[in-house]
Structure 1
Amino acid sequence: MTPASELRSGKTDRDENFPVASWIIHKRHRALILAFYNFVRTADDIADHALLDASTKLSMLDELETGLLGQHDEQVEANTLRAAFAERGMAPRHALDLLTAFRMDVTKLRYADWDELIHYCSFSAMPVGRFMLEVHGEDKATWPASDAICAALQINNHLQDCAKDYRDLDRVYLPQDIMRRHGVSVEALDKPKSSPELLACLRDLVARNEALLREGDSLTVHMADTRFACNIAVIEKFAWEISKLLRVHDPLSEKVHLSKGSMAGYALAAMAGCLWRRATTSAPLSRPAAGK
């Protein structure tokens, strides 16, 4: 078997749009979160690998799955995550859901409408939030708000990278019906600059995505773990700020990302706001499961 580690892109948790295992998270959770991240990042890099054909990608993803399920010990990332799950008594369901999304990335290059895109996010993004909530022992009642935030994060990423995804992988996450409504073809993504029609399409999707962020707005109030709530507040703040950038910048001709300096400022503001909101809101908090 080819070591999956050899197919990594070099991207790490520090390159993401959101904090993966930051100092905000209690240190007892960080090893498990990083094991999960490294497994998922490896699978994602396989699905996006420019030099592998589809059958090889699917075979490698299958190897990661069977390794995670304990059928062999050939893939380091699978071994590490399997051991981390066993130590915490957790099932691998969320990691398996993500593998489903990466298989979709290999085999599905277009999305007919918004509902199809959200279905993809139910495997590609929502399991990440659910995993984090489970790690922290949060109630399942928090899942719907988390699902909305995670889908919004994923779609922000699709909008930021829409040209790169098309040029490098012939993969288009912009719903086809919304593109048609604005008179846009996928070939518009290969231009050096967005047409007015494409910009209108992208901003239509930004507005839909902001509605998802609003759906998740109550999450930080209803969580039991204050540190994790602050972490989520930071992620939400980053998502909103990226959305603001997407409203005024062209992702085909401009880099639509937050600077490291601005992220630090946004993080501090988000944590302060989260603590104030939790202190002044009477909404009942969920309670973590025993032993978490």
Structure 2
Amino acid sequence: MSEALMDHATRTIEVGSRSFAAAARLFDPATRRSVLMLYAWCRHCDDVVDGQELGFNVEGAAPHDAAAALAVLDTQTRRAYGGAPMDDPAFAAFQEVALCHRIDPRFALDHLAGFAMDVDGARYETLDDTLRYCYHVAGVVGLMMASIMGAHEDAVLDRACDLGLAFQLTNIARDIVEDARMGRCYVPAQWLREAGIAPDEVADPRHRAALAKVAARLVDHAEPYYDSALAGIAALPLRSAWAIASARNVYRQIGIKVKRRGAHAWDERAGTSKAMKLWLLAKGAATALGSRLSGPAMRARPAALWQRPGRAADAPHAAHATAA
């Protein structure tokens, strides 16, 4: 794979997710390369559907047909899994990573289904609806990342998915106002009604105090998924465990910051300072090392947590006990 493509993948993650970029540096070189390539493909698909470049609008771009773009991505993804030659660099990288690490095709197609939810203007009435979206845009990314790290057992994949769900709940809380300004809302409509916020007034500054309570609720609901994800750390190679534990710490801290800021959570984008990141990376190292001492047994996953599709036969989909 060309050095230029690797440079592009590195720039993609640094622009698209500075929080994960810091943790990604902790992977061993081979794993980091595959992780960056997978992230670049995810970013590429997102940009293609939205008609953007690295998450930004392109000045002077032609009118965009998101549905047609998504159909092309679906076709290319299926061709990549079929071993067809890939001209697009992002898909050439994805093909190598997906086939080399035996990433289940269903995971990649489920990810594209998340973009379809945006294209179709999906609405989210309940927390389960929001979690279903979180699964498609982030939970399956956790599944694909875990596959790169050599984890293919369902119990470990469940924990990887849980971390993706927690990440996305945190992202939704952080980006509520920004998303609303783009005409998108992933917060359960039930919660907005309970808070007295009309769907078309989410970004209205008058509702900041009420919206802060909604965001805090999202952050609180992310916590059991962050906790569940910890149980999967021991199943990963040490450096991968360090990277993932650190990413968990960084994202979780963003949620804590959003909750702490209250009505001022959206005055500026919540993030973590360099000093805080270093502390959280050190804390991640301690978690990774400690997981080597925890023994082979993995504690049972809480039955109340939302269950990813495809696992219903092994663990019935719960009615989400924390949805109240």
Which bracket does the TM-score occupy, shorter chain normalised? Answer: 0.7 to 0.9
Show structure 2 runs of 5+ residues with no match.
1-7, 52-56, 299-324
Q: CA deviation at 1:99?
A: 0.9
Match of 1:265 among 276, 279, 286: 279
Does the 8 Å CA contact 1:192/1:252 hold for their aligned counterparts?
Answer: no
Show structure 1 runs of 5+ residues with no match.
1-7, 286-292
Q: Distance in 2 between matches of 1:151 and 1:135?
A: 18
Q: Distance in 2 between matches of 1:219 and 1:35?
A: 23
Count of equivalent residues: 276
1:163 aligns with 2:177: yes
Which amino acid in the other structure matches residue 69 of structure 1? Answer: R
1:14 aligns with 2:14: yes
Which amino acid in the other structure matches residue 61 of structure 1? Answer: L
Equivalent position of 1:137 in the other structure: 150
Q: CA deviation at 1:228?
A: 1.2
Q: Secondary structure at the match of 2:116?
A: helix
Equivalent position of 1:153 in the other structure: 167
Equivalent position of 1:58 in the other structure: 67
Deviations 1:205-256 (A, max 9, x none): 22112222223232213x1411111111101111221121011123332321
User: What is the 5 A alignment of 1:39-78?
Assistant: 39-49=41-51, 56-70=65-79, 73-78=86-91
With structure 1 as the length reference, what TM-score do the two structures score? 0.83
1:112 aligns with 2:125: yes
Match of 1:180 among 193, 197, 209: 193
Of all paired residues, the percent bearing the same amino acid is 22
Q: CA deviation at 1:31?
A: 3.0
The change in CA–CA distance for 1:260 and 1:192 in structure 2 (over 3 A counts) is farther
Q: CA deviation at 1:79?
A: 2.7
1:255 aligns with 2:257: no
Equivalent position of 2:115 in the other structure: 102
The change in CA–CA distance for 1:143 and 1:94 in structure 2 (over 3 A counts) is same
Which amino acid in the other structure matches residue 166 of structure 2? Answer: A
With structure 2 as the length reference, what TM-score do the two structures score? 0.75
Q: CA deviation at 1:21?
A: 7.5
Does the 8 Å CA contact 1:46/1:60 hold for their aligned counterparts?
Answer: yes
Does the 8 Å CA contact 2:156/2:232 hold for their aligned counterparts?
Answer: yes
Q: Distance in 2 between matches of 1:261 and 1:43?
A: 33
Which amino acid in the other structure matches residue 253 of structure 1? Answer: D
Q: CA deviation at 1:13?
A: 0.6
Q: Secondary structure at the match of 1:216?
A: helix
Q: CA deviation at 1:32?
A: 2.5
Q: Distance in 1 between matches of 2:96 and 2:213?
A: 47
Q: Distance in 2 between matches of 1:273 and 1:281?
A: 10
The change in CA–CA distance for 1:261 and 1:194 in structure 2 (over 3 A counts) is farther
Q: CA deviation at 1:36?
A: 1.5
Equivalent position of 2:288 in the other structure: 274
